[in-house]
Amino acid sequence: MGELQVGLEFGIPFPGLTEQDSVIFTNTLVVMLVLFILGFLIARKLRLGKPSKPQLVMEMTVNWLGGLARDIIGEGGTRYLPLILTLFFFVLFANLIGMVPGFISPTSNLNTNFGLALIVFIATPFVGIREIGLKAFLKHRAGPVTALAPIMFILETIGEFSRPLSLTLRLFGNIRGEEILVMMINKIATMIYYIPITVIILPLTLITSLVQAFIFALLPTIYFGGASAWGEKH
């Protein structure tokens, strides 16, 4: 990166972690703390008659992603909604924290994204086995043609291993590239106009963060639906 610095240059020292890893870990803890506090405050003020605006936003998000889970995974898809919602909100707030002066997005680091993708990788066969059973799950991976079953099983397994890599690189590339672009634009604008123009691109950054969070929640939902062979049952 040379002299181009993006985000926080300070992190709480943790044993066994490099300075950069400590920075990412510190920001990750901040995101988790913010989510915990927001969840606690919203849960304390839940109302049936006159819900608050944060409660309305939460209910709309739950209904939105819950509907997707039912459509893609099946009627039992809502049982995996806590995981899908956790991925969505964590990625969203991890993206957004990079817009706060002095912080860096944990999702701009490959290790964070790989950890999230690894959770999806482990959860996918668990969902398939739970929904249709081990025998049906293995049969689904083997394909409809018995003669081609060994080849199809190998291809399906390779496909499973490629998903964490795809999720990791997609999120990393978008968020890291976005942070670098914002920093470069600010540097250029400061030299020319002597004013930062982050405010101008702020709406675009918000939209990008939301879209990336949605994609990171949608793709696991699709993986879960494929593992449970929902499309074949209907």
Residue-wise pLDDT tens digits, 152-192: 777 777 777 777 777 777 777 777 766 666 666 666 655 55
The torsion of the CA quartet 106, 111, 115, 121, rounded to 10 degrees, works out to 130
- What's the rounded mean pLDDT across residues 114-139? 85
Q: Is residue 121 part of a domain?
A: yes
Indicate whether 14 belongs to any domain.
no
Q: Which residue has the higher pLDDT, 175 or 120?
A: 120
Residue 174, in any domain of the structure: yes
Q: How confident is the model at residue 2 (pLDDT cuts 50, 70, 90)?
A: very low
Residue 11 lies in a domain: no
Of 33-42, 106-115, 153-162, the one with minimum mean pLDDT is 153-162
Whether the predicted pLDDT of 53 surpasses 60: yes
Task: Please give the pLDDT value at position 181.
Answer: 67
Task: Give the helix, strand, coil percentages of the chain, each rounded to 5.
Answer: 80, 0, 20
Question: 5 lies in a domain?
Answer: no
Q: What would the DSSP string read from start to end of 45-79?
A: T--SSS--HHHHHHHHHHHHHHHHHHHHT-GGGGG
The strand ranges marked E within the chain are: none
Averaged pLDDT of the chain: 78
The H or E element that residue 147 is part of is none
Tell whether the torsion through CA atoms of 56, 67, 216 and 32 is positive or negative. Answer: positive
In which residue are the tokens 């992603």 written?
Answer: 65
pLDDT of the residue at 101: 74
Give pLDDT, residue 186.
61
Amino acid, res. 118: L
pLDDT winner (highest mean) among 19-23, 46-50, 143-147, 227-231: 19-23
**Exposure string (b/e) for 177-200, b if CB count within 10 Å is 16 or more?**
ebbeebbeeeeeeeeeeeeeeeee
| pLDDT number for residue 39 | 87
206 in any annotated domain: yes
Which domain range does residue 213 map to? 19-233
**Whether pLDDT at 198 is above 90:** no
Confidence of residue 145 (pLDDT cuts 50, 70, 90): low
**How far is it between the farthest Cα atoms of the chain?**
69
In a domain, 99, yes or no: yes
CB atoms within 10 A of CB 122: 10
44 versus 90: which is more confidently predicted? 90
| C-alpha atoms less than 13 angstroms from C-alpha of 6 in its C-beta half-sphere | 23
Q: How many independent structural domains does the chain possess? A: 1
For the entire predicted model, the pTM comes to 0.79
pLDDT of the residue at 190 = 57
Q: Please give the Cα distance from 30 to 34 (Å, whole number).
A: 6
Spatial distance between the Cα atoms of 117 and 108, rounded to a whole number of angstroms: 14
CB burial of 124-156 (b: ≥16 within 10 Å; e: otherwise) equals bbebbbbbbeeebbbebbbbeeeeeeeebeeeb
In a domain, 6, yes or no: no
